[in-house]
Amino acid sequence: MKSTKAREAVTAGAQGLALSLMALIGSITLFVLAVVSISLIPIGVGVFTTPPILQAVRAHTNQRRLLAAQWSRTRIPVRYRPFPRDLRGGITGQVERCTVMLKDPATWRDLQWMLVDMTAGATVAILAPGLILEGVFGLLLAAGLWNPVVDAGGTYWYAFIPVTGWGTAGLAALLGLFWLHLALRVNPVLVRTHFRIAGSVLVPGREDELEERIDRLTETRHDALDTSAAELRRIERDLHDGAQARLVAMGMNLGTIEALIEKDPAQAKELISKARESSAEALTELRDLVRGIHPPVLAERGLGDAVKALALRLPVTAEVDVDLPGRADAPVESAAYFAVSEALTNAVKHAEADRLWIDVSYADGSLRIAVTDNGGGGARIGAGSGLSGIERRLGTFDGVLAVSSPAGGPTMVTMEIPCELF
């Protein structure tokens, strides 16, 4: 039990150190760049510098959201307004992009959060490693480190203890043990508090949330209609070019067979064989088409087994971990299945990964799916990318997508869909 607490305290200390460095380096740098860039908009320079800087701010903020979910199971929703689909290029498009980002309330929440992150957030985070280091230093003083320290600068104050000899060094060791004991108890709490502070700023207020939800529902409704229309066109095209063409050819062959059955039995027999092949191919294409609309394994056995079946068909090694206490509604399962399929296709096709990890779970009223690969990284959500398609698909169900993909990898795509299981 004690070893587990010690390991958790040390882990939280390392996490706190990483969070404080990200706050003091990343948040301060990006905040200053964003403020300077926005102030340069009136003279025209900021129009070109602000969008990429704010995009970096969003990436920095999303990274903290991802760490919040991984390190403390704290969910901080992503609520950025999408860019218009008809966003133009050139100077006009740049101005429009800048305007959209500045009108987004989430942009100002990000800037406000960075201001809090570099102050309160960094202070809370640095306490976790500070308690451990201070405790260890107290023990080192009692081990004899007090001697060169005192010789170099006279009386050394360790907290409220003036260390001048072995006796006071022993008192410092007792205080160091207290710091270490305190670290065992509060370090994980400090890390969770850091993320709660971030969530208190990044989570929108009631009015902002309602406004963003209306905008999001309007956008996702249009996406759903467009996706449905595109899917219908795909089905019609596949039926027309595939199974329908084969069935028409098979009907023509049967007509020819009827005319040749008595005159040329050998040729009729050959045409019967071709008709049989055509019927088999048409049946295969119809099965593939049905599988593309709603895979039978998904309908019969649920999302977990359907994802495992997907993984078995991949050309690379994939590990699947499923922890679902029930099943979601069919539309949610279908959206999650095709989102996972798209994410796996991206990982194999673009990331050049040779190993994948898929985690499917349910917690806090949300279906959570994480697809991780050991590829080259560099994936991002953008116009025309497969990840944008996943985001639109999840958005129909008020779901969110987060991507962590540093250069060199690994890439982690996290999907969440609010739903109920039955």
Tokens of 294: 């709603």
Q: Which pLDDT tens digit goes with each residue over 168-213?
A: 888 888 988 998 889 888 999 999 999 999 998 988 766 666 666 6
| 227 contact partners, CB below 8 Å, separation of at least 6 | 392, 393, 396
Mean pLDDT of 55-67: 92
**How much is the pLDDT for 398?**
76
Residue written as token pair 């009827």: 258
Q: Which pLDDT tens digit goes with each residue over 89-124?
A: 666 778 888 888 898 888 999 999 999 999 999 999
Q: Which pLDDT tens digit goes with each residue over 352-373?
A: 788 899 999 998 888 999 999 8
CA dihedral of residues 219, 225, 227, 232 (deg, nearest 10): 180
Cβ atoms 407, 66 nearer than 8 A: no
Tokens of 123: 């202070």
Tell me how far apart the alpha carbons of residues 291 and 294 are, in angstroms, rounded to a whole number: 5
Cβ atoms 156, 122 nearer than 8 A: no
Tell me how far apart the alpha carbons of residues 221 and 270 are, in angstroms, rounded to a whole number: 53
Question: What is the pTM for the complete model shown?
Answer: 0.55
Q: Can you tell me whether residue 315 is helix, strand or coil? A: coil
Mean pLDDT of 312-326: 89
Range with the poorest average pLDDT among 21-30, 200-209, 301-310, 354-363: 200-209
Tell me how far apart the alpha carbons of residues 80 and 82 are, in angstroms, rounded to a whole number: 6
- β-pairing, 400-404 vs 355-363, is unpaired
Tokens of 361: 């779970």
CATH (one of 3.30.565.10, 3.40.1670.10, 2.170.150.70, 3.40.190.80) for 298-418: 3.30.565.10
Tell me how far apart the alpha carbons of residues 297 and 308 are, in angstroms, rounded to a whole number: 10
Helix/strand number for the chain, H first, E second: 15, 7
**How much is the pLDDT for 342?**
84
Q: What letter represents residue 313's amino acid?
A: R
CA dihedral of residues 384, 387, 391, 393 (deg, nearest 10): 80
**How much is the pLDDT for 288?**
57
Cβ atoms 57, 110 nearer than 8 A: yes
